[in-house]
Amino acid sequence: MMIRAFGAAALDLVYPKGLYCICCGKITDDSRTYRLCGECMDSMKWIGGRICERCGRPLADINPYDQCFICRQHKHHFDSGYTCTAYSRCERAVIFSLKYDGNADIADTIGEIMYDRMTVEFSPDELYGKYNMVLPVPIHRHKLSLRGFNQAGLIADSFASRSGIKADPYILRRERETRMMRSLSPQERRENIRGAFSIRERRRTDVSGKSILIIDDIYTTGSTIDEIAQVLKAAGAERVDFLTFAAGSDMLKS
């Protein structure tokens, strides 16, 4: 731990931060797309091929339907979802570096990746006209003070600066901290997150009749996005879509 920190600090003196691959941390050059070395660029599971028509995650090869397992089992509150990659080794490394190693600058690159993903679906003008606002998934203030930043907020800022759609981190509020979701079943996740978000009272009218894009780093079962979409729709939001950097794989009934 000490040695690693020392090594990184020493390298910072010689090489500016932009020259590290955001996935493996190896020194690369700044001409690299998305600040990924060639190897990591190839290892990233970029979205392509069949995706779920509802949540946008890649469909398992043996799934013959147009929707993933979870979307067929559970009625969502959000309208449509978009994601850039399938959550795997490289995606995990990028997100961990951002969230837990404090490399906040990675959020800017993720925002760039997300913007490029949306321009596959829409022209820049269509995208700008499609949404009134971009809302990052909020984290609880205790977590915010520990981490120093909300990664979804930084990613939303980056996406907003590229798309021209205004990001607003002050509409949604995280009411309480929730248990780590990683080991929970879809049902447990929904129960764990219930009531975790609210809209700030004097901002309720700002979402009424609006088309909203929620931004987060990972999409798994959709319980977080659903909970937020439900709150926004109860306040009159017209449309609630989401965009994430990575999505978990299609679960299949055994």
Residues that bind Zn ion (CB under 5 A): 21, 23-24, 37, 40, 52, 54-55, 68, 71
Q: What is the smallest separation between the CB atom of 130 and Zn ion, expressed in angstroms?
A: 20
Q: How far is the CB of 25 from Zn ion (least distance, A)?
A: 7
Nearer to Zn ion, 68 or 113 (CB): 68
Structure tokens at 77: 């509150």
Q: Which is nearer to Zn ion, 59 or 172 (CB)?
A: 59
Shortest distance (Å) from residue 70 CB to Zn ion = 6
> Which DSSP symbol is given to 18?
G
Nearer to Zn ion, 75 or 202 (CB): 75
Q: Is 221 within 8 Å of 54 (Cβ atoms)?
A: no
Closest to Zn ion by CB, 27 or 166: 27
Q: Which amino acid is at 68?
A: C
Closest separation between CB of residue 6 and Zn ion, Å?
21
Q: Are strands 81-86 and 133-136 parallel, antiparallel or unpaired?
A: unpaired
Comparing CB distances to Zn ion, the nearer of 24 and 144 is 24
- Distance of alpha carbon 218 from its chain centroid, rounded? 5
In the complex, least distance from residue 97 CB atom to Zn ion, rounded to whole angstroms = 11
Q: Report how far residue 74's alpha carbon sits from residue 88's, in angstroms, rounded to the nearest whole number.
A: 24
